[in-house]
Amino acid sequence: MSVSVLIGSQWGDEGKGKIVDILSDRYDIVARYQGGANAGHTIQILDKKFILHLIPSGILRENVVCVIGNGVVIDPIALLEEIEFLKQHDIDIEGRLFISHNAHLIMPYHKLLDSIREKSELKIGTTGRGIGPCYIDKYARKGIRIVDLLNKKELEAKIRMNLEEKNNLLKKVYDHEELDVEAIVEEYLEFDKAIDPYIADVPLLLNDAIKQNKNILMEGAQGALLDVDYGTYPFVTSSNPTSGGASTGTGIPPTKIDSVIGIVKAYTTRVGNGPFPTEITGELQEMFRKWGDEFGATTGRPRRCGWFDAELLRYSKLINGIDFAAITKLDVLSNLDDIKVCIAYELNGKRLKSFPSDVSRLSEVTPIYETLPGWKHDITNVTSYDELPSEAKSYLDFIEKSCEFKITIVSVGPKRSQTIEL
Ligand code: GDP
Ligand code: IMO
Ligand code: MG
């Protein structure tokens, strides 16, 4: 029996979807614990590309049960679209998808406020999916949860209370037209009918599964540096993607978690604003984007690209407790003669002893680089570690030694078959 947490170790888009799909072969249950439809997890099976936003990436394995925990914020429209998309691809989800009755719902005003605030206040570069405003209401104890859909009268009262505040804000501060209570109530009651078969008491379901010695994989969304507590605040998302979030977001106690798997891109990317010490500029950035197809799976925005950052990864290991790592997109580096890697940061001429998570200091650091030789060899068909060019092995060795975790998987392409297990 094992319970593992799989996390994004950098700024998201490390290839979590692909690795969850690979690993879920060995798990009975895959559970999401935070975030929402801001996530875009890609799985490529043969020539078919599946992008999942809310439903765990284990759904493509027919024997795996998928769970959405209470820590996830659910956009009804996105969820129903995803269920429909899976049905169209003949993926049977009946009896395999369970959603926590305590999960909070993204409401129309959350999406509206997310996009309006991005125009008028501090620009985070959010995905516009209403994530921040929904978590604000959750912590302000005003949120609408799935369980609230059961009682029409109370639901209406709660939405009315919320709209009184939001309409005031929309009208007086943002000069935007007001929203209508009845229309929202009707829309959400319809949604309740559609999702009724999937609602469950998730902490009970998962802890019962543990008692029955089932294997559970918890799938993080986003990445450690986007964590609201440990990331590059305020340029973060509004949840805890780090491994600690897995307990509060599902109801599996920390004492039941056996290991943490970190997904680590062989270089670094970031979408949205905020400091990025190893960011590459100019033509080379464009080349990285092309080689790695670095465009957001949710918004299509071009991702910012940079060199591998061991200082950042050591911090990520510290706060997540990464035991094992999967290195993804190693193939993308095959185009380079030399590969730069950041080994530490300097600030005001002094080498820093730890990662500065406050953005003002992080924005001013100078990365200290080493240069490793490239391999200039197509590795997308390599299926075993031994077949990798010696320079690629040295690159992996550098990562393992400088970050002090064990690499157990190396990914050399988006497909299932393009995976090397060590
Ligand atoms: P996630 O959010 O962490 O699940 O990652 P995304 O799906 O947003 O982005 C990862 C992208 O890289 C997707 O388009 C994947 O299909 C692709 N991908 C995953 N692993 C590899 C790999 O090893 N090599 C290449 N070239 N692409 C990969
Ligand atoms: P996956 O799970 C990469 C980024 C946004 C923005 C910040 C806040 O696919 O790795 P939000 O909409 O969450 O309020 O935006 O977080 N962001 C992601 N970046 N991958 C993601 O998810 C992300 N989800 C949010 O670009 O900078
Ligand atoms: Mg993604």
Q: Which of 75-79, 244-248, 297-301, 394-398 is least confident? A: 297-301
Atom in ligand 2 nearest the alpha carbon of residue 272: 27
Is the confidence at residue 1, as pLDDT, over 80?
Answer: no
Distances (CA, A) of 85 to 56, 81, 207, 327, 410: 14, 6, 30, 29, 30
CB within 8 Å of 186: residues ≥ 6 apart = none
Per-residue pLDDT tens for 8-21? Answer: 999 999 999 999 99
The predicted model gives 60-75 an average pLDDT of 98
**419 and 22 in contact (C-beta within 8 Å)?**
yes
| CATH superfamily of domain region 264-421 | Adenylosuccinate Synthetase, subunit A, domain 3 (3.90.170.10)
Closest CA to 51 of 60, 59, 41: 41
Boundaries of every domain in the chain: 3-100+209-261, 104-194, 264-421
Report whether residue 328 contacts ligand 1, using a CB cutoff of 6 Å. Answer: yes
The pocket around ligand 2, CB under 6 angstroms, is made up of 8, 12-13, 38-41, 124-127, 129, 131-132, 221-223, 226, 237-238, 271-272, 297
pLDDT at 260 exceeding the cut of 90:
yes
Reply yes or no on whether the pLDDT at 120 is more than 80: no
What element of type H or E holds 316?
Answer: helix 310-320
pLDDT at 119: 87
CATH topology of domain 3-100+209-261: Adenylosuccinate Synthetase; Chain A, domain 1 (3.40.440)
Convert the pLDDT of each residue in 187-200 to its tens digit.
Answer: 999 999 999 999 99
Q: Looking at ligand 1, which atom is closest to the CA of residue 292?
A: 26
Helix (H, G, I), strand (E, B) or coil at 400: helix
Please identify which residue in the block is written with the tokens 């072969």: 25
- For residue 247, give the nearest of 216, 226, 270 by alpha carbon: 216
How would you classify the pairing of strands 419-421 and 406-411? Answer: antiparallel
Q: Which of 305, 298, 331 is nearest to 42 (CA)?
A: 298
| CA 8 to ligand 3 center in whole angstroms | 10
The separation between the first and the last C-alpha atoms of the chain, rounded to the nearest angstrom, is: 21
Q: Is 5 in the pocket of ligand 1 (CB under 6 A)?
A: no
**What per-residue confidence (pLDDT) applies to 231?**
98
Q: Atom 25 in ligand 1: which residue has the minimum CA distance?
A: 413
Q: Does the pLDDT of residue 122 top 90, yes or no? A: no
Q: What percent of the chain has pLDDT over 90?
A: 96
Predicted confidence (pLDDT) per residue in 304-335, tens digit: 999 999 999 999 999 999 999 999 999 999 99
pLDDT number for residue 197: 95
For residues 251-260, give the mean pLDDT.
98
Span 139-154, mean pLDDT? Answer: 96
SS3 42: strand
Tell whether the model's pLDDT for residue 341 goes beyond 80: yes
Look at residue 121 and tell me whether its pLDDT is greater than 80. Answer: no
Q: Mean pLDDT score of the chain, rounded to an integer?
A: 96
Averaged pLDDT for residues 344-368: 96
Active site residues: 13, 41
158 CA → ligand 2 middle, Å: 29
CATH class of 104-194: mainly alpha
pTM of the full structure: 0.98
pLDDT over 70 for what percent of the chain? 100
44 pocket-lining for ligand 1 (C-beta < 6 Å): yes
Distance of alpha carbon 33 from alpha carbon 51, whole angstroms: 18
The overall longest dimension of the chain from CA atoms, in Å, is 67
Tell me, using a 6 A CB cutoff, whether residue 356 lines ligand 1: no
Quick one: tokens of 203?
Answer: 């902490």
pLDDT in tens, 198-252: 999 999 999 999 999 999 999 999 999 999 999 999 999 999 999 999 999 999 9
Q: What is the pLDDT of residue 99?
A: 98
